[in-house]
Amino acid sequence: MLLAQYTEEITNPALSEKIRNLTGLQFLAKFLPNIIVLFLIAASLAAFFILLIGGIQFITSGGDKAQMEAARGRLTTAIIGLILVFSVFAIMKVLGDFFGINLLQINLEPLMLK
């Protein structure tokens, strides 16, 4: 006699129908590209605000050499950061095209156990 029988699947009602029925690998295949895009958006927003703060700092320096150099360093750092982030994205796209792998649409089906 079995006392603990489980017949229904456990689901999270807070998730949408699209996500609720996915396996772990399917969810990961949808999740990773979104993380990459989110990283690009966050880096762009951070660089924008650092550029904005650096510009305001440069304008309000009033000719003070130390403040102007600090503002110039902040502006340079933000621009270099943007260049690095988008060059990584460009390299990722070029390598994806070269090897035929689209990193923004990852197929993990071969890893699934049957």
**Hey, what's the torsion of the CAs at 25, 26, 28, 34, to 10 degrees?**
170
Please name which of 11, 33, 13 lies closest in space to residue 22, comparing C-alpha atoms: 11
Residue 6 lies in a domain: no
The region of weakest confidence among 16-20, 32-36, 66-70, 79-83 is: 16-20
Residue 35 lies in a domain: yes
The region of weakest confidence among 48-62, 70-84, 88-102 is: 88-102
Please name which of 25, 17, 16 lies closest in space to residue 109, comparing C-alpha atoms: 25
Residue 51 to residue 24: CA distance in whole angstroms? 40
> Which amino acid appears at position 9 of this protein?
E
Tokens of 39: 């990283």
| The length of the chain, given as a count of residues | 114
For Cα atoms 11, 39, 89, give the angle at the middle one, nearest 5 degrees.
120
Residue 57 lies in a domain: yes
Residue 14 lies in a domain: no
Residue 11 lies in a domain: no
pLDDT band at 6 (very low <50, low <70, confident <90, very high): low
Residue 35's domain comprises 21-109
Residue 95 lies in a domain: yes
The region of weakest confidence among 9-18, 40-49, 73-82 is: 9-18
Q: pLDDT tens for residues 24-71?
A: 777 787 888 888 889 989 999 999 999 999 999 999 998 899 999 999
Q: Give the chain's domain count.
A: 1
Alpha helices in 15-64 (DSSP H): 17-20, 24-59
What average pLDDT does the segment 89-106 reach? 82
Residue 74 lies in a domain: yes
Q: What is the mean pLDDT of the chain?
A: 84
Residue 86 lies in a domain: yes
